[in-house]
Amino acid sequence: MAKPGQPAPIEREVARLFALVSEALAAATDALLGGEPSEASRVVESDRSVDALTDELTRRIWEDLDDLLPPNEQTRQLIGLLTILPELERSADLAEHIAQRGVSQLGRDMPPVTRGIVQRMSDVALEMWHEAAGSYVRATDAGDSLNQADEELDILTRRLTDEVSSSQLVPSIAAQVTLLGRFYERLGDHAVNLARRAEGLRGGPPVSGR
């Protein structure tokens, strides 16, 4: 048990993160189905506390590792790479989800405007991935351009949602197109996360993602 003034054990704080995510999920659903935008906004804002706690725990874990392990850059490099691999795997899964919609020929049922938005989302996401890969391979900082591109993806996601809502698409097709937007948006998020983690490999602990 932590003494007064000392941080709680890391394991307990991780358990708290599980609880915070579960609470956010429940509150988000209640706000969605109950038509309570102010409550939904509160849930969105509360995500900042989860990000802050995640960053704090990441820092503490790396400090503990420094105490346990002799100074060894190779050890830190390998551990940092372990934080990158899950992001890559989840991103490949998202690309697979997009391809699965191609197998079902979803694109054939999409109106021209919708197809144009999806194409632009793909272009932006690919640019972000090229930049994130360059940051990793060349050991350079990604800069602000990734964040700007991520904001554009967010805007495009909202445009796609609005376009689908005003279209005459059958509900099942509309739902799949909306999912497509979410897949591209998440691919952008992963690109940002990977660039941050790549920066961490070049000195200091990897920065936690979104």
**Are 91 and 195 in the same domain?**
yes
**Are 35 and 123 in the same domain?**
no
What is the Cα–Cα distance from 74 to 82, expressed in whole angstroms? 12
**Residue where a domain terminates, one of 53, 68, 83:** 68
**Per-residue b or e along 96-112, where b marks 16 or more CB atoms closer than 10 Å to that residue's CB:** eebeebeeeebeeebee
Half-sphere exposure of 44 (CA within 13 A, CB side): 8
Per-residue model confidence (pLDDT) at position 105: 87
**Are 140 and 62 in the same domain?**
no
**Are 50 and 96 in the same domain?**
no
Per-residue model confidence (pLDDT) at position 1: 45
Per-residue model confidence (pLDDT) at position 146: 92
**Per-residue b or e along 157-192, where b marks 16 or more CB atoms closer than 10 Å to that residue's CB:** bebbbebbeeeebeeebbebbbebbebbbbbbbbbb
Structural domain count, the chain: 2
**Are 55 and 144 in the same domain?**
no
**Are 79 and 62 in the same domain?**
no
**Are 142 and 39 in the same domain?**
no
Per-residue model confidence (pLDDT) at position 210: 54
Per-residue model confidence (pLDDT) at position 35: 78
Instruction: Enter the DSSP assignment of 154.
Output: H
Per-residue model confidence (pLDDT) at position 46: 85
**Residue where a domain terminates, one of 22, 50, 68:** 68
CATH number where 200 lies:
1.20.58
**Are 91 and 194 in the same domain?**
yes
Per-residue model confidence (pLDDT) at position 161: 93
Per-residue model confidence (pLDDT) at position 40: 81
Per-residue model confidence (pLDDT) at position 96: 93
**Are 37 and 118 in the same domain?**
no
Per-residue pLDDT of the chain (210 residues; tens, 9 = 90+): 455 555 678 889 888 888 888 888 788 878 867 878 888 888 888 888 888 888 888 888 878 877 777 767 777 777 888 888 888 998 999 999 999 988 888 888 889 999 999 999 999 999 999 999 988 888 777 767 899 999 999 999 999 999 999 988 999 999 999 999 999 999 999 999 888 888 877 665 555 555
Domain region containing 180: 73-210
